[in-house]
Amino acid sequence: MSEASIIDVFHQGGIIAYPTEAVFGLGCDPDNDQAINKLLALKNRSRDKGLILLAGNYSQVLPYIDDSAIPQDKRFIVLSRWPGPITQILPANKNLSPLISGIFKTVAVRITNHPDIVQLCKQTGKPIISTSANLSGEPTANTWQEVKQLFPQQLDYILKGQTLGLTKPSTIINAISGAVIRP
């Protein structure tokens, strides 16, 4: 498939597998509730948990967060942690789909430096939903070949790149309180 076809799949509500900093992720268009429901069903993941938004730059997540609720003294800290393997919990836009935020009034966001995902987000002009490539509670796929074994027919596109080689999933930090949720 050509690179343009991943963009078509994304816009048509498909489920995409792609490399992240440490593991492979599964994702879809964050503005397509039908695609998000399909992804949650595929993973057997609870709607209550929420999902991560993975973006190439901060401006791509602005429609999904409540940027005005981030205190000015915290904004510099938030932005200084990116790009990279840090997922931050930010105040959610009040109109954000509960399929993304789960039962929370916040949303998990990561600005990545993975070149494949930066390019994907640049081409779509928006972030991608991100959750690990596995069934809930099971080990995560680290290569596209493992993704293909786990989901032989269920995915619409597998981006056959490589992770950045980190050995553990991203750190998760509450951006406002500074509390580390996952080291």
CATH class for domain 3-182? alpha beta
SS3 label, residue 150: helix
Residues β-bridged to residue 16: 27, 157
Most distant CA pair in the chain, distance: 47
For the chain, what are the domain ranges?
3-182
Pair of tokens at residue 118: 């930066």
**Full pLDDT tens readout for the chain, 183 residues:** 344 489 999 999 999 999 999 999 999 999 999 999 999 999 999 999 999 999 999 999 999 999 999 999 999 999 999 999 999 999 999 999 999 999 999 999 999 999 999 999 999 999 999 999 999 889 999 999 999 999 999 999 999 999 998 888 889 999 999 999 998
Q: Residue 19's pLDDT is what?
A: 96
- The values of phi and psi at residue 131, to 5°, are -150, 150
CA dist list (Å): 170 to 20, 31, 110, 112, 114: 9, 24, 9, 10, 13
Can you give the pTM of this predicted structure?
A: 0.93
**Cα gap 78→174, rounded to integer Å:** 10
Q: Kindly report the CA angle at 46 between 100 and 115, in degrees rounded to 5?
A: 50
Q: Residue 29's pLDDT is what?
A: 98
Pair of tokens at residue 31: 């503005």
**Alpha helix (H) ranges present in the chain?**
3-11, 33-43, 72-80, 98-101, 115-124, 144-150
Lookup result for tokens 């009040």: 94
